[in-house]
Amino acid sequence: MKKRWLIILGIFLLFSVLYAPVSARGLGGENADVTLTLTGRVVNTQGLGVEEGEVRVFMGGEQRTLLVAGEEAEVAHTHSDGSFVVDLTLPKEVLETKNIAVEITHSSFRTTREGFSKQEVACANNHCYVSIPEVVLPRVFNPAFFIATGIFLVVFGFISFNIVHETIAALLGTASMLGVTYLLGHANLDFWIIDFHRAITFIDFDVIFLLMTMMIFMAIMSQTGIFQWMSYRTFKTAKGNAFLVTTILVIITGVFSAVLNDTTVMLLMTPISIQIALAMNIHPAAIVIPEVLASNIGGAASLIGTPPNTIIGSYVGLTFNQFLNNMLPVSLIGMVLLIFMTRWLYKDEFNQEGNEPSEALVEQLERGSQITDKNLLIKSLIVFAGTLIMFFTADRFNMPPAAVAIIGSSALLLWVRPNISEMLREVDWTTLVFFMALFMMVGGIQEVGLIQIIAESVKNLAGDSLVLATLLMIWVSAIASAVVANIPFTAAMVPVAVYLTQTIPGAENNVLYWALAVGAGLGGNATYIGSAPNVVAAGIMDRAGFRLKFQDFSRIGVPITFVTIFVPMFWILLRYFWLNF
Amino acid sequence: MGIIVCATRGGEASYRTQDAAITLAKEQNDTLLFLYVVDTSFLDKITGAGVVDTEQELSNMGQFLLTMAQERAAAQDAEAETVIYEGLVHEAVADVAHDAEASLIVFGSPGEEGSHFNLSGLEKMAEKIEEDTGVETRII
């Protein structure tokens, strides 16, 4: 829209220069006032627009009062794409005799002043126009940069190592950044990180609404007992074949995790899986660990399967189908490899002779695995299937995934008519607050330039090689996600991937986003702390008396993670570089 | 005839404790009460966990583990009752001891594998429970 206006303005300027009845040298009367319109764009060193930059105009070294939206003001601000338009009224002799300069200031950039010659001014009647070439602002590493970076790293540590609840950690980080901004930044711009109004613009409400509405689905479906019933039927069908049970449970977990939140899937699957393992006289880890790895692999398949994918999809504007087309093959390859490796890594468990569980145990297992509300199950399955169809067809209507989820969950609520107060209590508000605070905090580090530095470093490392950039994106994300929480990591890395996609030739095929999704989604499988489903599964195992140590998890997680990333990496190279299909 | 409360879960360490408690109950001709505590505090630092009724899921699992413990007692010609409480372990054990009018509370000595507590932590918890309830607490 703004581009169109700039083009119209450019045509108008050209027209004015060619056909203007008077030139800048020949304006009306000697003492007449003229209106000068200045347009331009302010960018960072990556060529991305700088928003909220302050624009001041100086003539002969003196600051002039501007007209912004018809009101007098000392300062105008740049828009989200970095563009600005300012008007000022001044006597024509001032325009003809004084040097004109535009000064751009921003707390995270070096103040820059650009002058221009009078030859660049085009006039028609009493209105003059000048379009200033792009003003590039270099970053400054002021105290705000170091404070914001420090806050982000501390919060990252808190979240990754479960020192405090993720939501408290993210709120603490956001509060610290806002506190520094308001308490110190007002007095000294060097401490200005981000203000509240700017920070809330970074909240991605697509993600928030998508998460919230999918929680409603999950809350209703979890009340039906479907997960437990399917697990029990698996146990009965497999007739004592432990590997078959594990394989089917792994597939169930992977499929559910692709369309529902992987953490909640594991909360439902782990307790029943432990019981099944004990009934079959095998160590629960032989079922639970492959399951949790499957939840991460399956979750990587779709835009709604895992929070990192939701963040990537929403930030970049990728659709449900785009995610499925590009990530489903990766997940399928990963699932096949996982099943083979599970057979190999747990061969002792699967090869041992199982003993027949007692009737009492089977009865107990069956009691806890009933469909609790058939009517509710049928309704929720029908609406969920309809919602999935809408996800598949949403591209035709240009409908964002959040809108699909809102429509689907509203339909379910309307049909099921649950107690809405109870239902809203089921929504995990801590998660939503966590995401909002996280987005605000990531906005803070974007404002001070940390993301820009990371992006430029990766770009310098990769040069113009898309292959190298893709490999870096996969493995750096995977290793990082294995040791730190993948949600804040992904939130910080998406803008980096966007920058690389814009600057590396050939990256328009979005391969870097898929590389990030693969790394962030599957890297978390390597360690116990790599993703929330791992922590949940380990916690429930502990409650059953089977403590899962860090090394126990990694002994299985590291090789499987390596293989399930290494092989799909070749798929990515084959699909996006070698065969281009 | 008293009541022995044995807080238990699953796994090798718990089986040893269950066996010791069964032996003790038989020797003293006491009633054995296996307790499983539904403690969801591990989810306190995880987002996304509030959507599911985790207490119910863990309660089902606990009932299964208690059934296993009961079978273990039956295999040794002993009878055992079971009970599930929700909350933090030390509070739940104290509550059960009070409600069931227990004469003895037993905890398993932490083994190398699968122990939620270390020995000093367990001793402190046992002392605190004994102080609060007046019921003898033993680590076996």
A374 and B CB contact within 8 Å: no
Helices (H), A300-399: 307-316, 320-345, 347-351, 359-367, 374-393
| Three-class SS state of B126 | helix
* Max Cα-Cα span within chain A: 106
Please give the structure tokens belonging to residue A384.
Answer: 């969920």
What are the chain A neighbours of B10 within 8 Å (beta carbons)?
274, 278, 544-546
Please give the structure tokens belonging to residue A481.
Answer: 């996600």
Strand pairing partners for A104? A55, A112
Q: Indicate the number of domains in chain B.
A: 1
pLDDT over 80 (residue B50): no
B98-123 pLDDT, tens digit per residue, is 998 989 999 887 765 555 567 778 88
Distance CA A208, CA B22 (A): 52
pLDDT over 90 (residue B69): yes
Q: At what angle do helices B119-133 and B89-99 cross, to 10 degrees?
A: 40
Of B8, B47, B52, nearest to A434 by CB-CB distance is B47
How many CB pairs below 8 A link A and B? Answer: 130
Rounded alpha-carbon distances, angstroms, from residue A413 to A225, A390, A423 = 18, 17, 9
Rounded alpha-carbon distances, angstroms, from residue A384 to A44, A48, A258 = 45, 40, 13
The answer to whether A120 and A108 have CB atoms below 8 angstroms apart is no
**Contact at CB, B14 and A430, closer than 8 angstroms:** no
What ipTM did this prediction achieve?
0.90
Q: Where are the domains of chain A?
A: 28-136, 143-193
pLDDT interval class at B11 (50, 70, 90): confident
Of B14, B48, B114, nearest to A261 by CB-CB distance is B48
The contacts of residue A54 (CB under 8 Å, 6+ apart) are: A75, A76, A77, A104, A105, A106
Of A165, A430, A544, nearest to B61 by CB-CB distance is A544
Strand pairing partners for B5? B33, B105
Task: Give the residue from B35, B44, B47, B88 with the most A CB atoms within 10 Å of its CB, the best one to mutate.
Answer: B47
A529 and B CB contact within 8 Å: no
From the list A478, A472, A474, A471, the residue with the least C-alpha distance to A557 is: A478
For residue A369, the surrounding DSSP H or E stretch is none
Of B38, B42, B54, nearest to A542 by CB-CB distance is B42
Exposure string for A187-221, b = 16+ CB within 10 A, e = fewer: eebebbbbbeebbeebbbebbbbbbbbbbbbbbbb
A393 and B CB contact within 8 Å: no
Distance CA B10, CA A278 (A): 9
- By C-alpha distance, the chain A residue nearest B50 is A428
The answer to whether A354 and A280 have CB atoms below 8 angstroms apart is yes
Cα of B98 to nearest chain A Cα, Å = 23
The answer to whether A42 and A82 have CB atoms below 8 angstroms apart is yes
Cα of B119 to nearest chain A Cα, Å = 16
Rounded to an integer, the average pLDDT of B83-99 is 91
What CATH number did the domain enclosing B98 receive? 3.40.50.620
**Contact at CB, B116 and A219, closer than 8 angstroms:** no
Rounded alpha-carbon distances, angstroms, from residue A489 to A159, A218, A307, A467 = 11, 25, 11, 22
The answer to whether B67 and B75 have CB atoms below 8 angstroms apart is no
Q: How would you write the pLDDT of chain A (581 residues) with one tens digit per residue? A: 555 665 665 665 555 544 444 344 444 445 578 888 999 999 988 788 888 899 999 988 888 899 887 888 999 999 989 999 999 888 888 777 788 889 999 888 889 998 877 778 888 888 889 888 889 998 888 899 999 999 999 998 888 787 888 889 999 999 999 999 999 998 888 899 999 999 999 999 999 999 898 888 888 888 898 999 999 999 999 888 899 999 999 999 999 999 988 888 999 999 999 999 999 989 999 999 999 999 999 999 999 988 999 999 999 999 999 999 999 999 999 999 999 999 999 998 888 876 677 888 888 888 888 898 999 999 999 999 999 999 999 988 989 999 999 999 999 999 988 888 877 777 888 889 999 999 999 999 988 988 888 888 888 998 889 999 999 999 999 998 888 878 888 998 999 999 999 989 999 999 999 999 999 999 989 988 788 889 889 889 988 988 888 888 899 999 999 999 999 999 999 999 888 77
B46 and A CB contact within 8 Å: yes
Placement of tokens 């730190």 in the chain? A484
From the list A238, A239, A217, A236, the residue with the least C-alpha distance to A228 is: A236
B39 and A CB contact within 8 Å: yes
- By C-alpha distance, the chain B residue nearest A358 is B71
Instruction: Provide the CATH number for the domain formed by A28-136 in this structure.
Output: 2.60.40.10
The answer to whether A565 and A474 have CB atoms below 8 angstroms apart is yes
- By C-alpha distance, the chain A residue nearest B8 is A545
Rounded to an integer, the average pLDDT of B64-86 is 93
B137 and A CB contact within 8 Å: no
CA A306 to chain CA centroid, Å, is 11
Task: Give the residue from B38, B42, B45 with the most A CB atoms within 10 Å of its CB, the best one to mutate.
Answer: B45
**Contact at CB, B49 and A368, closer than 8 angstroms:** no
Cα of B102 to nearest chain A Cα, Å = 24
For residue A55, the surrounding DSSP H or E stretch is strand A54-59
Cα of A545 to nearest chain B Cα, Å = 4
Please give the structure tokens belonging to residue A328.
Answer: 């489903």
Half-sphere exposure at residue A259, Cβ-oriented, CA atoms within 13 angstroms: 18
